[in-house]
Structure 1
Amino acid sequence: MEIRILVVDDELSMREFLAILLKREGYAVDQADSAQKALEFLAGASYDLVISDVKMPGLDGIALLGKIKESAPDTAVLMMTAFSTAEQAVEAMKLGAYDYLAKPFKVEEVKVLVRNALEKRDLKRENQRLRLEVQDRYSFSGLIGKSKKMRELYSLIERVAPSLANILIQGESGTGKELVARAIHYNSPRKDKSFVAVNCGAIPESLMESELFGHKKGSFTGAINDRAGLFEQAEGGTLFLDEIGEVPLQLQAKLLRVIQEKEFRRVGGTGDQKADVRIVAASNRNLEEQVREGSFREDLFYRLNVVQLQMPPLRERIEDIPLLVEHFYRKYVQTPLSGEIISAGALKMLMAYGFPGNVRELENLVERCIVLGGGTISEESLPPQVRGSRITSAAPAGDFEIPEEGMDLEGYLDGIEKRILQQSLERSGGVKKKAAELLGLTFRSFRYRLAKFGMDDE
C-alpha cells in the first residue's frame, strides 16, 4: 500500500528538496506552500504523514497541527523550523506532533524520523484494531450458549462489569471461568488497561509471592534483577487469580492486605507501592468448605466474594451442546459449512454424556473428531468413553441403597476415590499431570490425593 506524505513550507527550495528526498525513499509526496493550501489537500485525500514548517504567513504550523489532529487524528505530523525554541517544541508535542526538526537538518536525520513516525502511526492503528478485536471477542461473543443458565449469567455479567467490586467465579474445571473474567474486564471501565491472568495452582509455593508482588535484585538466590510482579503489570486493570484456593495461608494474609490497603511491597523491598487493581478470583473448589476446614482465610473469602458468579457445568445445559459443537467445528475447520457437521446419532451420544471436563473437554473432542474423521462428526469418530456407558457426577443418588446393617461411609468413599485415581493413571499412561486434568483437578490437589492413599510413588 502506497504511503502518502504532504510537505508544507512557504519556501519552494525546502519543499522540493524534501519531495525529492522522500520520493527516492519510495513515498508518494504532495507539496503545499501554505497551511490553507495544506488543509485543501487534507480535505480531498488522506495522508500518512504531514511534514510542516512552523513559521509561515497567515495560518502557522502550530495552528495547522491542531486542525490536523481534529480532523485526522491518525495522521502523523513532523514539525520543522529555523527558529527552534524549547517552547515551540513543547507546544507542538502537546498538540500531538510526533517530533520536531530544527533547520538545517541532516538527510539521514529526516529519513530516520520519517520512518519512526510512520512506524509509530502503524503501531497505534494496530493497537486500536486489536483492542476492537479483543472487545468483540470477549464482549459475550466468546461465551456460547442460549440456555436459561447462560442467559442468567450474561445478565449478571452486564450488571457487575461496570462496577469496581471484586468478583469470585466458582465452577468446575473447564466451564469457562477465565472467559467470563475477560468478559467482565472488557465490559468494564478498565477495558483499555491490562487484563493479567495467573493460575495460582501452577506456581510453586516458593515463587508465588515473587510472581504476585515482584522482587528486588538480590532478595533471594536467582533474583539477578528487579522484577515487576503481576499486581504491577495489572495496574489500572484487572488481575484474574485462577485457582485462588491453591494460595498458601501465609500468602493469603498478604493478598488480604493488598485488597484492604490498596498497596503491596516487593520481595526484598523497603517501600510500599500503590495497587489500583480490580481482582477477579476463581476456583473449582468449594472455598466456603475450605474456610470451614481452615485452609482458606475467612476474611479473605469475604473480601473476594463481594459478588459471586456460579458457572454451570455442561451437563446442566445440554441444550447448548449443538451450538458449541458448531462453534468449535467452525474454529478448527475454518471453511463454510456444507451439509450436516454432526450426525443425529453422534449428537444424541454427546448430549447423553456427562462431560466431566465440561466445555474444554467438548472442544478437545470436536477437534479430535475433525482430525480423525475429516468430515462429518459421526458415532464412529467419537471416543469410547462417549460411545459407551460412563458414570458421571450427575448420577442420581437413588442408584445406591444403604445396607440394613449399616456401612463405613468414609471407607466406602475412599475405596471409590482410590479406584478412580488408579483408572485416571492407567488412562493417562502414568502421566500424573494428564491424569489430574482428566479428573478436573489441579496437579497439586491430585498429588495430595495420591499421597493420602500412599500412591504418590507408584
Structure 2
Amino acid sequence: MNKPAIDVHSLINAQDSPAVIIDENYRIVAANQAYCTSYGIDPDKVVNHRCHEVSHHSAVPCHMNGEDCPHKQVFSTDKPFEVLHTHYDYANRPDRVRIKAHPLHDPNGDRYLLEVINRLAPSTNLSCEDMQMVGHSPAFLALIENLIVAAKSDAAVLIYGESGTGKELAAKFVHDQSARKKNPYVELNCAAIPEALCESELFGHERGAFTGCAGLKQGLFELADSGTLFLDEIGELPLPMQAKLLRVLDSGEFRRLGGNKLTKVDVRVIAATNRNLMAMVTQGKFREDLYFRIAGINVSIPPLRERRTDIPALAEILIKRLCKPEHNLCRLTHAAIERLVSYSFPGNIRELQNILQKALATCDCNIIDAKHIHFNEHHGINHAAADSTHDHAHGKVGGVMPADGSKLSIAEVERHYISTLLEQHDGNRRIVANIMGINERTLYRKLKRYELRTENV
C-alpha cells in the first residue's frame, strides 16, 4: 500500500502557533502564516533560509553557540524534543519561546523537522519602569515560563529568591501579564514598616483610632481592590499580623483600625521572601496555615551564579541606567566581562549594580576594564564553586581543579554540580533540570548514573 504524500503547507497551517518545517541542512522548507505574522517577516525571507539565520540571527547553528539545538537532537535521535530558547524578531528584539520539535518522514524516506513555537513573553513585556528582566539562560527562560503560568491563574503566588535577585520585578511581571493588569498594583515591604503601624498600613484606620489620628485613611487592601497587593519580605511580618492577614485572605473582609464596618475587597496577593518559611513554621515564627494560604503557586528565582551567561546583558542594562544623560555611555572590556562572569555574586543583581556603580566612578575614557571591577572582600569568593558552574555553562567542565591539584573528570564535576543544585533547591528535580537546560527524564538518568537520590540531598 502506497503511503500518502503529505502536503507540508497544510500540515503547518493546521497549527495555531507559529510553526516551520526544516530539512536536514537547517533549511526552512515551509512556514505558516502565524510564524510570519508573529515575527513580522515576509515568507520569502523565511523559506529557503537556514533556521539559525532566521530565528537566531546567527551564521552558525545554535548548538555551536552552546545551546540545546532541536534540529541536532531530533535528527540524532529521531524522537520529539522540547527546549526553551531565545529567538529574535525582525527588529532584533529577543523573544522567549518554548519549542516543541517533532521528526517527520516523507514517502521517499527523506527526513524533516517540524518546529512548533510557543511564545512565553515578548521582550516588550519584560520591562518594569526603568528596570528590566533580562536573560537568555535556561534558568531565566524557565523562570519566565513559570511566571507566565502564575499570571494565567488568580491564585496567590509565593516568590522565593535570595536577596537582590529581583523578586519585586517578578511580582510586577505577574501582575502585568494577568487579567488584573489594568487595575491597581500596590506594594508593601513588610521589613520596612514598624509593627505598631503595620495594621493601619494594611487595613487603614478611622478618625480617632489612636492618639494623634486626625482622619480616615484607606489601607493598602482597599487601594488594591480588584488588583494586586505585593507583600515583599513576608517572613518579617509579626505573628499577630499574620493572623489578621490570614483572616482577610480567607474571607476577603476586614475592618479598619478603630472601625466597626466590614469592608469587602477582591485582591490577589503576591508574596515574596528570601527566608525558608517552612523552617520558620517549625520554629514557631510563621503560621503554617498562612504559609499554605499564600503559597498557592510557588516560583523560585535563580540566583545570578546559576545564570552566569546573563551577566553581560544585565551589566549592559545596568550601565545604561547608571550613566548620567550628559555623559557618554561606558562600555565593558572583554576582560571586565570575564571577571564579572567568574564571580559568584552572593548579593546577586543588586551587588552587580553596586560593583558597576563603583567601576563607573573610577574608570577612564568611559571604558570599564578588569582593574575597575572590585568585589566586596567580606563576602569572599568560592572560586572552586564559581569555576565549576562557569565551566559547566561554557562546556569546560573538565578543567576544574580540586583542592589537591589533580584534575577532576567530566563525570565527577557533573556529579558534584548536580548534587550542589539538588541541595540548593531541596531536591526539586524540575527546578534543577530547568537550570541545567535539560528535561527531567535526562536528569533522572543522570541521577541513576551518579547514584544520587533526591530524598537524601
**What amino acid sits opposite 2:209 in the alignment?**
S
Cα distance 1:306–1:203, how it changes in 2: closer, same or farther (>3 A)? same
How far did 1:335 drift? Answer: 7.3
Percent pairwise identity: 43
CA distance in structure 2 between the partners assigned to 1:278 and 1:139 by the alignment? 21
- Alignment pair present for 1:380 and 2:371: yes
Number of matched residues? 267
TM-score (norm 2): 0.54
Distance 1:255 1:240 in 2: 13
- For the 8 Å contact 1:356–1:393, the answer to whether it is kept is no
Q: Are 1:390 and 2:374 matched, yes or no? A: no
Equivalent residue for 2:271? 281
Choose from 283, 290, 294 the match for 1:293.
283
Matched, 1:192 2:186: no
Greater share of residues in strand: 2
Alpha-carbon distance in structure 2 between the residues aligned to 1:307 and 1:338? 44
Letter paired with 2:332: I
- How many angstroms apart in 1 are the aligned matches of 2:358 and 2:384? 24
**Local SS of the residue matching 1:161:** helix
Please identify runs of 4+ aligned residues in structure 1 that moved more than 6 A: 334-340
The superposition leaves residues 412-449 of structure 1 with CA deviations (integer Å, 9 ceiling, x where unpaired) of xxxxxxxxxxxxxxxxxxxxxxxxxxxxxxxxxxxxxx
Partner of 1:150: 140
**Partner residue of 2:215?**
225
When Rg is computed on C-alpha atoms for both structures, the one with the higher figure is 1
User: CA 1:335–1:300 in 2, change beyond 3 Å: closer, same or farther?
Assistant: same
1:170 maps to 2:166? no
Q: CA deviation at 1:393?
A: 11
Gaps of at least 5 residues in structure 2 are 1-123, 389-401, 405-457
Indicate the RMSD between aligned Cα atoms, in angstroms. Answer: 3.1
Residue 260 in structure 1 maps to residue 242 in structure 2: no
Residue 239 of structure 2 is matched in structure 1 by 249
Structure with the largest fraction of helix: 1
Q: Given that residues 379 and 387 in structure 1 are in contact (C-alpha distance below 8 angstroms), is that contact kept between their aligned partners in structure 2? A: no
1:139/1:187 contact within 8 Å kept = no
1:143–1:174 distance in 2 versus 1, CA, 3 Å: same
* Structure-2 change in CA distance of 1:394 and 1:241 (3 Å): farther
Distance 1:324 1:292 in 2: 37
C-alpha contact (below 8 Å) 1:139/1:186 kept by paired residues: no
1:331 CA displacement: 2.2
2:197 to 207, 218, 225: 207
Distance 1:392 1:246, change over 3 A: farther
Mapped partners of 1:338, 1:348: distance in 2: 23
Report how far residue 303 of structure 1 moved. Answer: 0.6
Counterpart selection for 2:344 from 354, 361, 381: 354
TM-score (norm 1): 0.54
Q: Distance in 2 between matches of 1:388 and 1:272?
A: 49
How many Å separate the matches in 2 of 1:199 and 1:216?
23
Change (3 A) 1:334 1:276: same
Question: Which runs of 5 or more residues in structure 1 are unaligned?
Answer: 1-133, 401-458
Report the CA distance between 1:385 and its aligned residue.
3.5
Alignment partners' CA distance in 1, 2:199 and 2:348: 31
Counterpart Cα distance in 2 of 1:259 and 1:393: 45
**Contact between 1:243 and 1:284, CA under 8 Å: does it hold in 2?**
yes
Partner of 1:101: none
Alignment partner of 1:304 is 2:298: no
For residues 189 and 213 of structure 2, the distance between their equivalents in structure 1, rounded to whole angstroms, comes to 22
Amino acid at match of 2:367: T
Given residue 368 of structure 2, which amino acid in structure 1 is its aligned partner? I
